[in-house]
Amino acid sequence: MKKILNYINGELVGPKSGQYLDNYNPSIGKVYSLIPNSDADDVQRAQEAAQAAFPEWSVTPKDERSRILMKLADLIDANLDMLAKAESVDNGKPVSLAKSVDIPRAASNFRFYATAVVQYSTHAHEMEDTAINYTLRQPIGVAGCISPWNLPLYLFSWKIAPALASGNCVVAKPSEVTPMTAYLLSKLCIEAGLPNGVLNIVHGLGPKVGQAITEHPDIPMISFTGGTVTGKHIASIAAPMFKKLSLELGGKNPNIIFADCDFDKMLSTTIRSSFANQGQICLCGSRIFIERPIYEKFKTAFVEKVSRMKVGNPADDTTKMGAIVSQSHMEKVLSYVDLAKDEGGTVLTGGNQALVDGECAEGWFIHPTIIEGLSFDCRTNQEEIFGPVVTIMPFDTEEEVLMMANSTKYGLASTVWTENLKKAHRMARNLHAGIVWINCWLLRDLRTPFGGAKQSGVGREGGFEALEFFTEPKNVCIKY
């Protein structure tokens, strides 16, 4: 069986303990590879390699760092088909999605930060004829980057690219649920000529490897994307150690549809924003609020289209919905459908495991699910489900929908559909969210700040925000 290896000091190596974990292909429900069950010893080796590489990498000219990251991006592009297939097998997502979104975006992340770092400039503050201050932004040292399973290479590279571009070395941990493309990336790093120790990838479980990274006294910054409960745990360890922390956490995003919207555009995008990647994108809109005059029209059209979505083998180009990432996650998502029924909801379509013929007969699939009849403040509408389950609710006024939209502990993203510009601006100002999409969804400009309010996170990624996170500002004051 294929063995995934750690990438430490430029070499592909097994875990010190010699122990491996099973890695599943969720579309067939079977183990297909093995992943290192690394521990604190492996993290220690990785940290030492990163620390040793830091003095040279941090003073390597930006142009040279940029050149290597560009080469890595080119290698990702050159291996698009192979990486997309691997991502699909490992995660269960349709190969067409991995090919059009995940892998191209991973290449873009490296390309974006390879160019951003050479364009980046710092501030100067002049005190008239007394003195001039200028800000130095220096790399800090070894960064810990911990990422989730839903967009494996996409989110992994979103952290690593700015950390490396700004001159830090990295100890990174991909999700143990979807480790394959991070492993394949480590091979491409070797091919791209990334110096030894600059990037180290340690595979394994969160409570072992992630915990060891978080606790390490010589890893002074942690960039984490994952669940809010894990983020809280990481913060409780890192904050008393005064580490720099970037936390990108869970969401329960509202999708607000006004009667004056462009109905067809809204409908096709809402299908995507509800069920892309089986609803396992932190930005998916899982609570759909519809202005009452078009509630019935929306419901009929939405249910009709969603009930015809093809759930099937992710390797098939015509599949719209692939497998759920793991059996335990499938069970968790289905338990929320049971909860919704207990809370008085009516399942309009879906609500159960989907059985797929052929080699996927034992796979973990769920029919896209729409539920109505729930109050905005029930558990189903307050807790993150992170699967192909949405609720629909009517509303009458802007004030009412804002109150319901803002009622959760989360504040990641939101979507608003209206042709009324003033209303759009009002909603954008009043929604408690880090991102507001008006008449679109998941339209991403990598220069913009990315992240959430309330329990959806602390700090922002994206654009120069990430370069600021991965550097320490130092003010230099010179008297004239």
Q: Which residues are annotated as catalytic? A: 248, 282
Q: Which stretch binds ligand NAD (CB under 6 A): 68-76, 135-143, 145-153, 464-472?
A: 145-153
The gap between the terminal CA atoms of the chain, to the nearest Å, is: 68
Under 8 Å between Cβ of 233 and 212: no
Amino acid at 290: I
Asked if 214 touches ligand NAD (CB under 6 A), the answer is yes
Phi-psi region of 383 (alpha: psi -120 to 50; beta: other; left: phi over 0): beta
CA distance 234 to 213: 10
Asked if 150 touches ligand NAD (CB under 6 A), the answer is yes
Output 37 or 211, the one with its CB closest to ligand NAD. 211
Q: Return the residue of 85, 233, 305, 426 that touches ligand NAD, per CB under 6 A.
A: 233
Asked if 206 touches ligand NAD (CB under 6 A), the answer is yes
Q: Residue 75 corresponds to which tokens in the numbers above?
A: 């290698």
Output 395 or 450, the one with its CB closest to ligand NAD. 450
| Closest to 287 in 3D by CA, of 406, 176, 150 | 406
Helix axes 263-275, 295-306, angle to 10 degrees: 50
Asked if 173 touches ligand NAD (CB under 6 A), the answer is yes
3-class DSSP state of 309: coil
CB of 106 to ligand NAD, least distance (A): 14
Q: Return the residue of 225, 253, 369, 471 that touches ligand NAD, per CB under 6 A.
A: 225
Task: Count CB atoms within 10 A of the CB of residue 232.
Answer: 12
Q: Which of residues 379-398 bind ligand NAD (CB under 6 A)?
A: 384, 386
Question: What is the SS3 assignment for 16-71?
Answer: CCCCEEEEEECCCCEEEEEEECCCHHHHHHHHHHHHHHHHHHHHCCHHHHHHHHHH
Taking CB under 6 A as the rule, which mask of x and - marks residues 241-270 in contact with ligand NAD? Answer: -------xxxx-------------------
Asked if 282 touches ligand NAD (CB under 6 A), the answer is yes
Taking CB under 6 A as the rule, which mask of x and - marks residues 18-57 in contact with ligand NAD? Answer: ----------------------------------------
Residues that bind ligand NAD (CB under 6 A): 146-150, 155, 173, 175-176, 206-207, 210-211, 214, 225-227, 230, 233-234, 248-251, 282, 384, 386, 412, 452, 456-457
